[in-house]
Structure 1
Amino acid sequence: MTTTQTTTLSATRIGHACQLIEFGDFRVLTDPWFTQKATYYPGEPVAASVATLGRIDALVISHEHYDHCDLDALVSGGFDLTTPVIGPGTVADIARAKGFSDVRVVEAWESATVGDLTVTATPGKHGVHEVTFVLQSGGRTVFFGGDSLRVPELDQIPDRFGKIDLAILPTNGLCIRPMNYEQVVMDAEQAAALTAVLKPAMAVPHHYAFHSGQLADRMLTLGDQDPRHYADEVARLAPEVEVRLVLPGTRVVVP
């Protein structure tokens, strides 16, 4: 893997936590979600269909929840099932069952490579087993936070990986009402505190527009759908970090 910083780095938010991250011409798709089910509403337009994604060189998945691991949509949409899939063992089992032929298992602090891309799983915590990721290629580094809570181990990332070019973090602080409002996703302030530790050149929030439907929002889940709360907290805690609030389909180039 090269160590120069000349590789172009960009990210296009497809929707929710589904991001198209491009290291030069190497294209990585994260946490795919393209369909809708009862109590799972994207809350915003999905910027692409499976058929219009174009070539994907690697698929990186943080955990098995439907809104992050919509493999049925990929299969029915004609996605190339030889594309390398990288994720924890729980995801790997599902991917193999759906017909994916190149599945790489990574747990916290383990790495896999696809071409010049190195994917390192980093710790995460959610309602099910989850990892977060550091993606590196061409001298560029991206932290992808899936929809994890903030865990103390993530503070090790700068020491382990050096400069972070882009941090993509969940911000809605999702809570489960029937579970005594147990929090399962980091909120805006927690995400901003992690951003202050990571010190990326740019930060992009995601995982905030999702909702559970008019009835279930009142009975099942509670979350913050306004990413400006994250931007405000970063301005307070890490004013040197550029925050971009990105509509689905907007390609952001990282300096």
Structure 2
Amino acid sequence: MKIPFPRMFPFKKQGRFLNYIEEQQEGFAGVVRMCTRAIFQRNTGIDELRAGWVTLPGAPHASETASGDDIPRIQWIGHSSFLITIGGFTVITDPIFGSSSWLFPRWTPPGISLDALPHIDAVLISHNHYDHLDIPSIRLIAKRNPLVQIFAPWGDRALLVRSGFSRVTECMWWDDFSLVHDALKQKLELYFLPAVHWSRRALFDRNRSLWGSWIVRVGEQAVYFAGDTASGEHFKAIAHEFPSINTALMPVSPCEPRASMRFVHLSAEDAGEAFLALGAHRFVPMHWGTYHFGEDHPLVPIRRLTAWWEREKEQLLDRQLALLKIGECCVCTPALPQKVEEQQSPLYVRPARESELAP
């Protein structure tokens, strides 16, 4: 018998959302110190990152946009932006094609240019931070896709409507939605799920809107998009509701300074433990290599993640780690992802044997 696992819901106090009733947060002085150090470190390691982890921006491969089957096809645009094609539907997560601020310009170009984007059915937003909810990018997507549906956390609809968008759906944790493709007789299911994070767009609106993660599913194939999150019991709750996640898109940075980041962000090692709790088949890391947050060298998150994977290989024998370069895509079959671009393949770490480049 399946033992019920309690669903988690956000708390609300004086009009502001909370992850927990008694919530720990980094103080203002600590945030200022961290940002000051980050500004002086923001250009460290960029050349190494660009040389090894970026493909030339271009259009998605034809097989990625034309297929009506339910095998997920995923292309990493950069940061937390992914193009997910499944069952004839195309979804984009947290689209941002420019810089999130003048203090922290973009390190690497988007993996797809805005002009090369295919038809988009839905935009999924995890929370309203500027590196995840980028109004100019959404505006350009909506201009090319007048019927695109925007799904955003509770409290963000007013911002989007003021920005000129009308097809906006506001979401609370565990809300579910569906889109139907009549010609292909397919149904896309979307689920807005918990995360441990926070929100802010202006000086005095902290946590006035919600944050969360997403499941994108057609048939038995589900892709989990974690958004921004810290560790928490929500991963077990999600695994209970969705026991067969094909691919998990997981944030792996900023790793440092851990004293402050642990309240709202996964480190690379934390992301690995969360992946195990989810019970997903494949791990695709994100939220690294695009902007400078925290105090990490650009490649530290991936180095720490692969080191963790090697240490934990005995419990990862049936799991896969797909390290995509920015702009690369994979076909997420139940076996190893298949390369769909005539580029150098991403690195897949198979814990049963030595790490290697897939042919």
TM-score class, shorter-chain normalisation, is 0.7 to 0.9
Q: Is the CA contact 2:121–2:147 (under 8 Å) kept in the aligned structure 1?
A: no
Name the residue aligned to 1:24.
87
- Paired residues of 2:72 and 2:223 also in contact (CA < 8 A): no
Question: Which whole-Å CA distance do the structure 2 matches of 1:176 and 1:31 have between them?
Answer: 25
Rounded Cα–Cα distance in structure 2 between residues aligned with 1:22 and 1:138 = 14
CA shift for structure 1 position 113:
1.6
- The answer for the alignment partner of 1:127 in structure 2 is 198
Change in 2 beyond 3 A, CA 1:124/1:201: same
Cα 1:136–1:97, aligned 2, differ >3 Å: closer, same or farther?
same
SS in 2 for 1:244: strand
When Rg is computed on C-alpha atoms for both structures, the one with the higher figure is 2
Amino acid at match of 2:191: T
Determine which of 109, 119, 122 is the counterpart of 2:174: 109
SS in 1 for 2:155: helix
1:173 correspondence with 2:250: no
TM-score in terms of structure 2 length: 0.62
Task: Show the counterpart of 2:124.
Answer: 60
Partner of residue 222 from structure 1, selected from 285, 288, 295: 295
Unaligned runs of 5+ in 1: 1-5
Aligned counterpart, 1:234: 309
Tell me the equivalent position of 2:97. Answer: 34
What is the alpha-carbon distance in structure 1 between the residues aligned to residue 255 and residue 304 of structure 2? 14
Residue matched to 1:86: 151
Report the TM-score when normalising by structure 1. Answer: 0.86
Aligned pair count? Answer: 241
Indicate if the aligned counterparts of 2:195 and 2:230 stay in contact, CA closer than 8 A: yes
Greater mean alpha carbon deviation, residues 42-51 or residues 73-82: 73-82
Q: In the alignment, what sits opposite 1:142?
A: 223
RMSD between aligned residues = 2.2
Aligned to 2:112: 48
Q: Which runs of 5+ in 2 are unaligned?
A: 1-68, 181-186, 200-209, 334-359
Counterpart amino acid of residue 281 in structure 2: A
Residue in structure 1 matched with residue 287 of structure 2 by the alignment = 207
Residue of structure 2 in register with 1:72 after alignment: 136
- Kept in 2, the 8 Å contact 1:173–1:224? The answer is no
1:251 aligns with 2:312: no
The Cα of 1:223 is off from its aligned counterpart by 3.6
